[in-house]
Amino acid sequence: MPYRDLRDFLDALGGDLRRVAEPMSPRFEIAAALRQARPDAPALLFDHIAGHPGWRVAGNLIAHRRRLARAFDAAPEALAEAYLERKQRGIDPVTTRDAPVKEVVATQGDDLLGALPILTHHERDAGPYITTGVVLCHDPATGRRGMGIHRMMVKGGRRMGILLANPPLALFHAAAEARGEPLEIAVALGLEPAIVVASVVKVGPLVPDKMAVAGALRGAPVEMVDAETVKLQVPARAEIVIEGRVLPGVRETEGPFGENTGAYFSNASPVIEVSAVTHRRNPIYPGLTPWGTDVDMLLWLAAGTEMLGQLRAQVGGVVDLEIAGGTAGFSMIVAVHGTSRPEVRRLIHLALALDKRLKTVTVVDDDVDIRDPREVAWAMATRMRPARDTILVEGTEVYVIDPSGSGAAEGSKIGFDATRGSADPSFDKARLDPAALARVRAVLGDLMQ
C-alpha cells in the first residue's frame, strides 16, 4: 500500500487474478463472464478482445470482500473500521508531469470512442455502456471539484448519453445549463479501487473534495495532470481518459439499460460531445456488470460504511451494517447490542431519512450474522411481531432507477425491528456444544462449515 495504479493492484493480486487468453467479445460475452463468475472467483483479466487488438479488459476486481480488503490493505473484518478511520484525514492530490495516461492522445477523427472495448451487457441494452467511468468536473459557480460514477451510453461518432440523477454532477450541470453553457467533464477509466470507491462516497460540506478522500483511503496523494481539451485535471496513472462537454439544453433517449436493480431503465438524458481520448499503451478497460457483486461491495464500503459511521454517532449500541446483495443499496441490515426498542425505532427513522435510496432497513441483535440471509430471515421470523415492530414511512421521494416507483408520484419506506428487545431466554439462539463441535470438525474436516 498504496497501489500506484490499476496495474500495480493487478500485479499484487498474484494467484487471485486469472488471465484469460481466449479471445472474448465485448458484446455480451465479457459481461456474461463477469456476472456469472462465482463470487469467490479470482479477478479476471481478458488479454485478447475480439475486434480491439492491443486492448485488454479487467473485471471482478472487488467482487469479493476479501479482495476489497486487499485493495485497502486491511483485514476483511477490519475494513469498515479502517475506512472510517482513514477517511478522517483527507490527503489532497498533487500535480505531476509523469503521466502514463498521455502515452496515446487522440483528438482527431469522427469516431474517437471506436477503439475502446466498451461492453454491451444485456440482451435488451440499447448499446455499449460505460459502467465504471469516474466522471470529473468543476462546479461552474465555485470551481469545486465533483466526481461520481455515471452510466454512459455510446451513441456513435463523438456522442454519449449520460445519466445525471445525483449530486454533485447533476447540480453542476443544471448550473451550467442555466447559463446556457456546456459543462466540461473528463471520464477516468481503469483506476485502482481506492479512487473508484471514493468517487461514490457520500460526502458532506466538510469534505469538499472526493479526490482528497481517495488520497486518504490509499494513504498517498492521487497524482493528477492537466487534461488536453478541457480545463480539468485527471488522474495521471488512469488507463484511459475521455474528455468532453455535456451540451446545454439537449436531452435524448438513453437506454434501455439493465441497471444495478437488475431491471431495465430508460431516461431522457443529457448528451456528451467527446473532444479527446487519451490512454496508456496496451490499455486495460475496466468492466463492471450492473447487479453484480462488485457493485454490492462498492455500495457496502462507500454508502454502507459511511452510514455505519453516521448511525454510530447518533445511536448507542450500533455494531455493524450490511447492504443486502443485489438490492442496489435499497435494503440494509443493522446489528445492534443492547439498544432499547425506542432507540431502535429512532435508528430506523434516521437511516431511512439519511439515504434517499434506502427503502428497507432491518435491525437485528449482534448474535445474528448479518452477512447470512438465512440468519436475518430467522431473526425476522422469530424475534419480530410485525404489528408492533414495523415502521412505515409514506410520501417519500421515488429513487429514479427503482422499478417499483415507475410512474408513482410518491414512494414509501419500511423498517423492521427484529431485535429480541428483552432478556427473555426464549429468544436465545439454541447453540451446539462447543467441545462436540470442535471434535466433529476435527473428524469430518471439509464436510463442516
Ligand X SMILES: Cc1cc2nc3c(=O)[nH]c(=O)nc-3n(C[C@H](O)[C@H](O)[C@H](O)COP(=O)(O)O)c2cc1C
Footprint of ligand X (CB under 6 A):
148-151, 163-168, 199-200, 202, 260, 295, 298-299
Long-range CB contact pairs, 143-150, < 8 A, 24+:
144/168, 144/208, 144/209, 145/208, 145/209, 145/210, 145/211, 146/172, 146/210, 147/198, 147/199, 147/210, 147/211, 148/199, 148/200, 148/210, 149/196, 149/199, 149/200
The nearest distance, CB 15 to ligand X, in angstroms, is 27
C-alpha span between 389 and 362 (Å, rounded): 10
Nearer to ligand X, 166 or 412 (CB): 166
The nearest distance, CB 201 to ligand X, in angstroms, is 7
The nearest distance, CB 150 to ligand X, in angstroms, is 4
The nearest distance, CB 64 to ligand X, in angstroms, is 16
Task: Single out the residue of 294, 298, 347, 339 nearest to residue 79, CA to CA.
Answer: 298
C-alpha span between 304 and 80 (Å, rounded): 9
Q: In Å, how far are 87, 109, 139, 170, 171 from 184, measured between CA atoms?
A: 28, 20, 10, 13, 14
The nearest distance, CB 352 to ligand X, in angstroms, is 17
Q: What is the DSSP string of 370-385?
A: TT-HHHHHHHHHHH--
The nearest distance, CB 200 to ligand X, in angstroms, is 4
Nearer to ligand X, 61 or 200 (CB): 200
Nearer to ligand X, 205 or 342 (CB): 205
Radius of gyration (C-alpha) of the chain in whole angstroms: 23
Q: In Å, how far are 164, 231, 314 from 271, measured between CA atoms?
A: 10, 19, 41
Nearer to ligand X, 128 or 168 (CB): 168
C-alpha span between 154 and 150 (Å, rounded): 13
Q: Which residue is nearest to ligand X (CB)?
A: 148
Please report which helix (H) or strand (E) contains residue 293, including its range: helix 293-299
Nearer to ligand X, 166 or 310 (CB): 166
Nearer to ligand X, 150 or 280 (CB): 150
Q: Which three cell numbers stand for residue 137?
A: 468536473
First and final CA of the chain: distance in angstroms?
Answer: 32
The nearest distance, CB 202 to ligand X, in angstroms, is 4
The nearest distance, CB 315 to ligand X, in angstroms, is 22
Nearer to ligand X, 56 or 173 (CB): 173
Nearer to ligand X, 10 or 147 (CB): 147
